[in-house]
Amino acid sequence: MKYLITIIGPTAIGKTSLSIALAQHFQCEIISCDSRQFFKEMRIGTAVPSQEELAGAPHHFIQNKSIFENYTVGDFEKKAIAKLNELYQTNEYVILVGGSGLYVNAVLKGFDSFPDIEASVREKVNADYEQHGISYLQDQLALLDLTYYQKISMENPQTLQNPQRMMRFVEVCIGTGQPYSSFLNQNKNNRDFTPVIIGLEAERSVMYDRINLRVDIMLNEGLLAEAKELYPHKELNALQTVGYRELFRYFDGDDSLEFAIEEIKKNTRRFSKRQITWFKRTENTKWFDYLCDRKEIIDYINQFTTHQP
């Protein structure tokens, strides 16, 4: 049997340290599915594991791309499945860890397939965006697929500000004559591994304190300098990220540094709430308090795998 021990939960909850502990116990390797830790230019603001942590177990998909490269969830799915097939040749366990729910789902369930869209449709949508801006894409999606517009408005509102994602939604609606959401959750790829899904949780006040502390640590480690270096490229999709976006506004002269820091903390807390909403819908998840004895989690995994047919 092949098992994918999947660790989910909100930001700053302790997923990294747990993943390393489990990788050491089961003597296996770790696949990261944090959609911002892929980028090598964004080390501090994405809480990339330290060199000491990375040395604790073999990691994959950490800082393996540049912000200047186009990298989609579909690209990640293909690479991750190929890496899993390779790792399962020598071990029945692999760890999957990360706070990006869409990327976790892509590995666990497969990526939704869509019909090919004619180039002329894509060009027209792109031209309309260039002329009318992101609000045009938002209005079009609300008109063509209100269900999906409302879903992402509630669960991941940052997506509404992502031109690449929004253009894709709109071009699928126009090019197929059907709502984008009608193609979701249709024919998923079969997986030849069994997921063992572990969720970490904490009281909201505890979680918020951990987030605030993490932001302070990032700033002490040089987040301001890292953001300043990336500032000339602030329009790139990868940099539409909490922790950078707020500091870019400070560099623009729109906000004070003190206000920007508070905004980072506030927006990270909001992001964590959306993560919880997403992950709480993940089926067959066993939830543990973030401070629980790791032996409890190991015992659960051993029980789970022992009782598989």
The kind and range of the H/E element at 132 are helix 119-132
Cβ neighbourhood burial of 106 (10 Å; 0-12, 13-18, 19+): buried
Measure the CA–CA gap between 177 and 76, rounded to whole angstroms.
28
11 is in an annotated binding site: yes
Q: What residue type is assigned to position 107 of the chain? A: V
| Other CB atoms within 10 Å distance of the CB of residue 45 | 27
10 is in an annotated binding site: yes
| Other CB atoms within 10 Å distance of the CB of residue 174 | 18
72 is in an annotated binding site: no
Interaxial angle between packed helices 134-144 and 119-132, expressed in degrees from 0 to 180 and rounded to the nearest 10: 130
228 is in an annotated binding site: no
Give the three-state DSSP class for 81. helix
Residue in 117, 114, 112, 169 with CA at minimum distance from that of residue 138 = 169
13 is in an annotated binding site: yes
Residues in Cβ contact with 38 at an 8 Å cutoff, skipping those fewer than 6 apart? 32, 61, 62, 63, 64, 65, 71, 76
Q: What residue type is assigned to position 53 of the chain? A: E
16 is in an annotated binding site: yes
Measure the CA–CA gap between 126 and 120, rounded to whole angstroms.
10
Measure the CA–CA gap between 160 and 137, rounded to whole angstroms.
8
Residues making up the annotated binding site are: 9-16
Please give the annotated binding residues for substrate, written as ranges.
11-16
Binding-site annotation, residues for ATP: 9-16
